[in-house]
Structure 1
Amino acid sequence: MPTPCYISIQGETQGLITAGAMTVDSTGEIGLEGHEDEMLVQQFLHNVTVPTNPQSGSPSGKRVHKPFKFTVALNKAVPLLYNALSAGEKLSNVELKWYRTSSEGKQENFFTTSLEGAVIVDIECEMPHCLDPSNESFTQNLTVSLAYRKITWDHVSSGTSGADDWTQPIEA
């Protein structure tokens, strides 16, 4: 089973969109201490590519950042995410924190992905077929796709980082 990651989203108009998303009132289950203002990410997908010449392997175009997609269970932040999509609200800060079990047996944030200048470009809500017994452990899910201006990857534990702002030229 993958280790969890949590996402927090700050909108320029609505403020902290994920405020209270992991509380009992929001999830209907237990709240997660220390993660009350984040959403538990069920699935994540992101792809960055560089077009290349198939014969030589040489770059043939500018890098392409595909939508940053994450899936969460329905919670109190969902209506606010739809508001942000409908209004084209800029998201001033999106932060995805990845966790692992430390050598002391505790959860530690070892990797962080941050987005700047993000906007929601797609939301897909899905409920697995409720009469299919193989779906018993699933719930209603929301997949959110984000476009963004800048992305930063930080390996918190080792202190390494990388970033890409597609509005800036790449320097060697």
Structure 2
Amino acid sequence: MSNIVYLTVTGEQQGSISAGCGTTESIGNRWQSGHEDEIFTFSLLNSITNTGLGSQFHGITFCKLIDKSTPLFINSINNNEQLFMEFDFYRINRFGRWEKYYYIQLRGAFLSAIHHQIFENQLDTETITVSYEFILCQHLITNTEFSYLALPENYNRLFLPNSKNKTNNGLKTLNSEAVGRLLAAGGVYNGNIEGFRDTAEKLGGDAIKGYDQILNEKTAGIAIATASILLTKRSNVDTYTEINSYLGKLRGQQKLLDSIDIIEII
């Protein structure tokens, strides 16, 4: 058995799906104090591959008990409900105490498969597969982090619960200067400066500051013209590389899109 993993899920339509899932009414004598509103997860598989033409994110598959959330997950897959999901990983530290050491956050998550496993002399479980548009992974002890946003132009459709105190660290990733710079590059690439700037403004935080570091009244026209010339001559990969380099030169920096891994721009 793996280390303990707890899951918190909020649906755009149903609200808190994980509320009450860790109670005796939901899972009997397997309940654990302090985790009444979380889902106990037995295993988790997050698959990412690379064929040399870019990374492919194949979603997350996890196994859990059949509990209060089981009918709600069926509602979600039936209605194609957008979900906000958080996985908290626990381990035993050197002092013999449980510590939360790893964290995964998913936004724009949609269920793609549910399999129930009910066998003789085994726990009744279900295996669920989830696709996502944004993922944040953090090692909380060593302070390392990775985040991936599939389509920056679709950021506004990503569902986020109104009050989430425990995810403040994750929110910094999506309203930072780095994301603002990424949106600026997307605006150049798609020829939609104003639309992408509006997205940066809606993100709040330092996103608009990062956007304006690259694109402002003096540089926007030049950047669009350069992008148009490049688009007529180069493949998508080469084009983005040159635009990325050019945007850096606008501000006298070698590269402004730091801290962001560009997987694909469509």
Letter in 1 for 2:135: I
Q: Which has the higher strand share?
A: 1
Aligned length: 156
Measured in 2, the distance between the counterparts of 1:94 and 1:76 equals 17
Letter in 2 for 1:117: G
Query: 2:2–2:43: 8 Å Cα contact kept in structure 1?
Result: no
Q: 2:65 aligns with which of 55, 59, 73?
A: 73
Q: Secondary structure at the match of 2:95?
A: coil
Measured in 2, the distance between the counterparts of 1:46 and 1:94 equals 14
Q: Which has the higher helix share?
A: 2
Taking the TM superposition and a 5 Å limit, the aligned residue runs for 1:22-101 are: 22-51=22-51, 59=52, 61-91=53-83, 93-101=84-92
Q: Secondary structure at the match of 1:75?
A: coil
Moved over 2 A (4+): 168-172
Q: 2:106 aligns with which of 99, 115, 132?
A: 115
Measured in 2, the distance between the counterparts of 1:44 and 1:171 equals 25
Query: 2:90–2:99: 8 Å Cα contact kept in structure 1?
Result: yes
Residue of structure 1 equivalent to 2:8: 8
Letter in 1 for 2:61: K
Computed over aligned residues only, the root mean square deviation of the Cα atoms, in angstroms, reads: 1.6
Letter in 1 for 2:71: P
Measured in 1, the distance between the counterparts of 2:34 and 2:95 equals 18
Letter in 1 for 2:9: I
TM-score norm. by structure 1 comes to: 0.85
The structural deviation recorded for 1:123 is 0.5
Measured in 2, the distance between the counterparts of 1:63 and 1:28 equals 42
Residue of structure 2 equivalent to 1:157: 141
* Higher Cα radius of gyration: 2
Q: 1:147 aligns with which of 121, 131, 148?
A: 131
Q: Which structure's relative contact order is higher, taking Cα pairs within 8 Å and 6+ residues apart?
A: 1
Is 1:18 the counterpart of 2:2 in the alignment? no
Residue of structure 1 equivalent to 2:213: none
Letter in 2 for 1:72: K
Query: 2:80–2:110: 8 Å Cα contact kept in structure 1?
Result: yes
Letter in 2 for 1:38: E
Measured in 2, the distance between the counterparts of 1:30 and 1:89 equals 29
The structural deviation recorded for 1:171 is 4.2
Residue of structure 2 equivalent to 1:104: 95
- Please identify, of 31-40 and 110-119, the stretch whose mean Cα deviation from structure 2 is larger: 31-40
Letter in 2 for 1:32: Q
Where in structure 1 are there 5+ consecutive unaligned residues?
52-58, 131-135
Query: 2:2–2:42: 8 Å Cα contact kept in structure 1?
Result: no
Is 1:166 the counterpart of 2:176 in the alignment? no
